[in-house]
């Protein structure tokens, strides 16, 4: 299994990715965690000390390294991963790429307490500002996300995603 999860922050890529990797018995990689491990600094610190362009460069390089290192893999990308450099073409060419589409209202509910660790969503004054930021971000990213091989919309579980993948693999 070579499965790549893409989608907005809060979509559940990291959480679901772990579950799917356990289900399939494959290694799991969270791209953000791998960048942190290699750089020895948190995502927030990387953005603060080096800026977004540097982060995107490290993100692209780490993605290439991780994909080259693993044959079987469930990969949770960061929300911006498919939207920079040649990352999306690489993801599509090397594994089944699944877009987790979650309504913005639900992303807000999930991220209100988890925005601080996400520099592009941090320091916003209230949930309304978070919602506006997420809507603006999604508007620029949808054209990338929508190129995924598969899209999962609404509520999902490891089992429902596994059925979706099986259906895709048997029907093409």
Ligand X SMILES: Nc1ncnc2c1ncn2[C@@H]1O[C@H](COP(=O)(O)OP(=O)(O)O)[C@@H](O)[C@H]1O
Ligand Y SMILES: O=C(O)C1=C[C@@H](OP(=O)(O)O)[C@@H](O)[C@H](O)C1
Q: Does 70 bind ligand Y (CB under 6 A)?
A: no
Residue 80 CB, nearest approach to ligand Y (Å): 3
Find the binder of ligand Y among 5, 29, 36, 43 (CB under 6 A).
43
Which residue, among 19, 21, 24, 67, has the nearest Cα to 166 in the 3D structure? 24
Buried b (16+ CB within 10 A) or exposed e, 94-120: bbbbbbbbbebeebbeebeeebeebbb
Pairing of strands 73-76, 28-30: parallel
Residue 43 CB, nearest approach to ligand X (Å): 11
- Count the site residues for ligand Y by CB under 6 A: 11
Q: How many CB atoms lie within 10 A of CB 2?
A: 17
Q: Does 95 bind ligand X (CB under 6 A)?
A: no
Of the ranges 76-84, 98-106, 147-155, 158-166, which one interacts with ligand Y (CB under 6 A)? 76-84
Residue 51 has φ and ψ, to the nearest 5°, of 90, 165
Q: Which residues in the 14-43 window bind Mg ion by CB under 5 A?
A: 14
| Residues making contact with ligand Y (CB under 6 A) | 9, 13-14, 32, 43, 78-80, 118-120
């Amino acid at each position: 299994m070579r499965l790549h999860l893409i989608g907005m922050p809060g979509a559940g890529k990291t959480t679901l990715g772990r579950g799917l990797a356990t289900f399939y018995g494959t290694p799991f990689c969270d791209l953000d965690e791998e960048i942190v491990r290699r750089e020895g600094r948190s995502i927030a610190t990387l953005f603060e000390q080096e800026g977004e362009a540097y982060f995107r460069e490290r993100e692209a390089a780490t993605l290439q390294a991780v994909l080259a290192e693993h044959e079987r893999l469930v990969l949770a990308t960061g929300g911006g991963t498919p939207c920079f450099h040649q990352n999306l073409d690489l993801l599509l060419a090397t594994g089944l790429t699944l877009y987790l589409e979650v309504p913005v209202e639900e992303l807000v509910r999930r991220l209100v307490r988890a925005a601080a660790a996400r520099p592009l969503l941090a320091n916003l004054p209230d949930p309304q500002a978070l919602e506006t930021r997420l809507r603006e971000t999604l508007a620029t990213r949808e054209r990338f996300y929508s190129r995924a091989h598969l899209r999962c919309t609404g509520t999902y579980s490891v089992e429902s995603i596994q059925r979706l993948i099986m259906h895709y693999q048997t029907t093409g």
